[in-house]
Structure 1
Amino acid sequence: MRTDRKLVVLVAALGLALAGCSSAPPEPDTVAERFTEALNSDDVGAAAALTDDPARAGETLGSLYDGLGKEATFVVAGVHEDTFTLEATWKLGAEGGKEWKYTTIGTAGETDDGWKVHWNPATVAPGLDTGPLSYAPVYPKPARVLDAAGGELMAEQVVTLVQLAPGADTAAAAALLAPLAPGITPTSLDAELAAAQGKPVTAISLREADIAPVRDALTAVRGVTLAPQTRLLTTDKAISAPTLSGLSELWQQQADDAAGWAVRAQTADGTVRIAGADSRPTTDIRSTIDIGLQRAAETALDPIGTPAAIVAVRPSTGEILAVGQNAAADGAGAIALTGLYPPGSTFKTVTAAAVLDAGRATPDTVLPCPGVADIEGRRIPNDDSFDLGQVPLHTAFAHSCNTTMAGLAVTLPPDALRTAAERLGLGVDYVTPGLTTVTGGAPVAQSPAERVEASIGQGQVTASPFGMALVAASVAHGTTPAPVLVTGSPGVPDRTPPPLPAAVTGDLKTMMRETVTAGTATRLADIPGLLGKTGTAEYGDNSSAHGWFIGIQDDLAFAVFVADGGSSGPAVEAAGRMLRAPR
């Protein structure tokens, strides 16, 4: 009778092989195939029920899926009498990027309840018979993120999470933590615990140097647990920049790509590696950040209470030298790189470029600069309605004469401002390793009234601080440089407009120099060779205004933005603090 049942299994297996040539997949009719079908469906109960020891099988299979995940495929590769061969493929890790393939042998037998798989954990996975299996990536020696000079900007460091459980002595914990973080109080900790509804909370994460003096005291506080972990952190904890997150993502991606993996069995004597692959070595990531300029930019923004940002670029190479934001800006996101605002009179750099390129005027063309002008139904005033009378274009530009620039813009074609903006980098977007950026842009101004608004950086014109830094860099270099944050990995533009004629960018630099020596930025006249353009941009109901300043000094181009600055004054002052700082 036993021999006959074996024959049935073999015939069924042969039938399945033949059925594989038909158009419809066959139903599994051997116990091995039903077993693998249950495994492929992640049905632990069904798979265990097909064994001769359902209790042990269910427990082991449940722990297997807990340790390795459920991305597994099992196939019956062959059946011979009561022995079958399984081929398995596991997709391991969060992204399923690591693959473990193996072949095992199992047996089946007849029981009072019919044919069953003889339960042996090794039938399902090698090493499972020695203990529960688990997967973990195996990372290489951590790389570092370097600054432009090769100094250590970021490195993997140990941080300790200070965790509080319900019922913790919040007064004692706050007394130890407040000197490190003044915002931590017994009341704040009690509120966090109440909001967590019975779950532990992390009060703060501390670097080794900060927690070392209070570690023992914190350990002794009721309800406090210290949990060390590793993170990529700046070597100088005072440095904080929007570029750091992008560099961290690149660092993590490099580590993940180089990581090996291991499947380990937990035995009574410890863990044993069952399968895996070794990690590959990684290299340090060399950024373009000038650490001295970065510190100067951040310090320059510290006195400003409203959101403010600075972006500095090397025009000759496109290297991002510094990206700074103050604490008020950090709460709004990476505004230095992606925040879009009306650029105000800094956009007159673009307007002047369009006018010069179209031959509508030269820097020496004498033009009217009345205090107020009615142009195409739009009443355009100068700041405090100053009136220069008849002056050369370069003087009107240096003094930021709205009425002059608006009058010129009306004579331009609808797409002239957009074209000039793109030729200076504004409206061109980049895919840059380590950077997420938006430049802004100027839409086609179909009506003369729209051109009037756009000419002074209002209406539908927008720019990010990054975008205006590219404008300054384009004027300085003559062409728009591709931005670079990681040495050797320049950004790729979505399009490449032709550069402006050298004569046009040369005239712009001359007029921007006059802005500093005799125009609206004379507070910076002591800074050697500085070129610039100020900007005040009204928004909303026009009762508030942002402040801007873009500048060029030798092989440095930058933009300063101050939200709700009221005028360009705070931006000009911040630029001065950055440029005058020792570095």
Structure 2
Amino acid sequence: MKIWAKRAPKMACAAATCSVAVVVLSACGIGGDDDSGAAGAARHFAAAMERQDAGGAAGFTTAPGQAGEALTQTLQAMNAEHVDVDVVKPVEYSDGTASFSLKTTWRWAKDRSFETTSSGTARHLSTGWKLTWEPSIIYPGLPYGGQLREIRTDATPAPTVRSKSGKTFMYLQPVNEIILDPNRTKDVNQSARALARTLAPIAPLVTTQVISQKLAESQGKPIKAVTLRDPDMEVMTSNPDTVPGVSVRKAGMLVMADRRLSSPLEPGITNYWQAIRDATAGWQVQMVGPGIKPRKLAGEQGPPGPSVDTTIDQNLQLTLGDAAVEVGQPATIMALDAGSGAILGMAQNSYAVERGINANSTHPVGSTLNPVLGEVDRTATATQQSTDAIMDRLGLGVQFTVPGASAPTADQPGVTTVDFRPGDLNASMMNMGALGVALARSSMGQMSSVPPFVIKGAPTSVVGGKLGELDAATTAPILQAMAVTAKTGDASDLTGAPGLRALVGTNGPQGPGWFLGLQGGKVIVIYCEGDKSGTAALQVAQKYFRIK
């Protein structure tokens, strides 16, 4: 903090009168380290502002209550990393008043800054010099009840997410978040029941029990009961706002263009899309106040980011969704292109959603990979290679980070999420998919493994080992065993799947159960949980082959 003041000559500070008895106020430039004068009060105010101490700054004004509220609002809304305040040209007058200017610089990350110059006055009271409180001390023209705020801006139009064919798969749309705050209702149970009745026409699964469970888990904090699109709001016969404790919050959300579709890939794709939005985001400082339109004071906004091109096949995604709901237990199904490793779609039923199953979560494979592990051991012995290296090349021993498919977690947010290294016969659907692609490529004479991917141009990270050249001496017996399983083994009852090669297995009566199939240029991975999950996986597979 600096104080800039011109020190006036002593004679200039003497009171002057004229013969016509006109009194002229004398002015004296002030400065130095004297804390008892107007400059001292301004300096203390400025120092408190630099500390972002609204209450401390307000204490040096004539209206601490009003000033404290206004300064708090602006400091919080500006949310600056640093605030620099310089006192400029403080001048005291002989009538016990003074004037001054403040040069304030607000600073944020990425070298963003906003500089203002405001003016104010001070009065000498019985308690000392105080700054006459006016909102214009913060910024010229700021009205009572107004504030400055720094906000994020996003380039328009927002990027869309496109499918394999180039059609819009997901896009940004206004949504309505239905919020229930237990602290704003006298009877939270009654509010939960009333909200469930209101939502029933459009969201029948959001029952009183579901809402009550969310409230119990929130420990007294507001909960988001459901998110609805604008057309959904018109279906309801009553307004959620009328329920005590309920409010409707407008927001924007990346949603499926085809409302029939849903996928566990949505969080990963949204995370990737949001990273683009964040990279192209701008900023703006605004002056806002009662009854006035927000006024832009400063800011920058660059061009919009590119759309996200994916490998998703929308028609296949719909098929996968219909197959996943074939069974009444957790079921997840993923399809990949057998030649490239491109993820064509992934779907799951509501039971799997409740279990939080995703492409990266690892699960016991039980007997599913016995033909694979047997050939890996045989090859390792015959060629004096390590089993780990062979497993890695098959996609089973490595860790994948697949932009657009790796779901954010609390420990590893965003696209940094990776699969856990499968050990003790555990694997993720991503590992199983990579294995299937490696075997399919081998059957086509392409003797190398490739990582799965879903965002075109966004490479998958592979750590913990290396993919690479495949050995026909290993893959051919595995493919033969898969063909036998499809013809005379556990998958022999499946119909509508000519040329099928399959691995089928469970981890005991309680599961989980797996199905890995190569058919029609695609790799199909199915994971089910619960009793008879191996049978459930075959049921899902049969539904897929029947409707594909």
TM-score, with length taken from structure 2: 0.76
Query: Which amino acid in 1 is paired with 2:365?
Result: P
Which secondary structure does the structure 1 equivalent of 2:158 belong to?
coil
Query: 1:43 is matched with which residue: 50, 53, 63?
Result: 53
Residue aligning to 2:73: 63
1:482/1:81 CA distance change after superposition, 3 Å = farther
Which secondary structure does the structure 1 equivalent of 2:512 belong to?
strand
Residue aligning to 2:257: 235
Q: CA RMSD in A?
A: 3.9
Residue aligning to 2:405: 435
Which secondary structure does the structure 2 equivalent of 1:331 belong to?
helix
Structure 1: give runs of 5+ residues left out of the alignment: 14-28, 361-412, 444-459
Residue aligning to 2:412: none
- Cα separation, 2, equivalents of 1:466 and 1:196: 33
Q: Give yes or no for contact 1:107–1:118 (8 Å, CA) kept in 2.
A: yes
Q: Answer yes or no: is 1:178 the counterpart of 2:200.
A: yes
Q: Where in structure 2 are the equivalents of 1:419-568 lying within 5 Å?
A: 419-436=389-406, 439=419, 441=421, 443=423, 460-477=424-441, 478-494=447-463, 495-524=465-494, 526-538=496-508, 544-566=510-532, 568=534
- Cα separation, 2, equivalents of 1:343 and 1:196: 37
* 1:299 to partner: Cα distance: 1.7
* 1:512 to partner: Cα distance: 2.2
Q: Where in structure 2 are the equivalents of 1:32-181 lying within 5 Å?
A: 32-51=42-61, 54-69=64-79, 71-76=81-86, 86-91=103-108, 99-104=112-117, 111=124, 121-125=135-139, 128=142, 131-139=146-154, 140-162=156-178, 177-181=199-203
Which secondary structure does the structure 1 equivalent of 2:74 belong to?
helix
* 1:529 to partner: Cα distance: 2.1
Q: Answer yes or no: is 1:349 the counterpart of 2:392.
A: no
Query: Which amino acid in 1 is paired with 2:232?
Result: D
Q: Give yes or no for contact 2:510–2:532 (8 Å, CA) kept in 1.
A: yes
Q: CA-to-partner distance for each residue in 1:100-157, whole Å, 9 max, x for gaps?
A: 3215265786835555556564554465468422232222222222221122221222
Q: Where in structure 2 are the equivalents of 1:199-348 lying within 5 Å?
A: 203-214=225-236, 217-218=238-239, 223=244, 227-267=249-289, 268-348=291-371
Q: CA-to-partner distance for each residue in 1:520-544, whole Å, 9 max, x for gaps?
A: 3222365122211122223xxxx53
Structure 2: give runs of 5+ residues left out of the alignment: 1-6, 14-26, 93-99, 407-416, 442-446
1:311/1:124 CA distance change after superposition, 3 Å = same
Q: Identity of counterpart residues, as a percentage? A: 26
Q: CA-to-partner distance for each residue in 1:165-213, whole Å, 9 max, x for gaps?
A: 6577887765553343334567877998999999987654333333323
* 1:160 to partner: Cα distance: 3.3
TM-score, with length taken from structure 1: 0.72
Q: CA-to-partner distance for each residue in 1:396-421, whole Å, 9 max, x for gaps?
A: xxxxxxxxxxxxxxxxx8x8433322
Q: CA-to-partner distance for each residue in 1:5-45, whole Å, 9 max, x for gaps?
A: 999964549xxxxxxxxxxxxxxx95554333211222222
- Cα separation, 1, equivalents of 2:336 and 2:210: 41
Q: How many residues align?
A: 489
Which secondary structure does the structure 2 equivalent of 1:74 belong to?
strand
Query: 2:536 is matched with which residue: 570, 574, 577?
Result: 570
1:97/1:69 CA distance change after superposition, 3 Å = same
* 1:80 to partner: Cα distance: 7.8
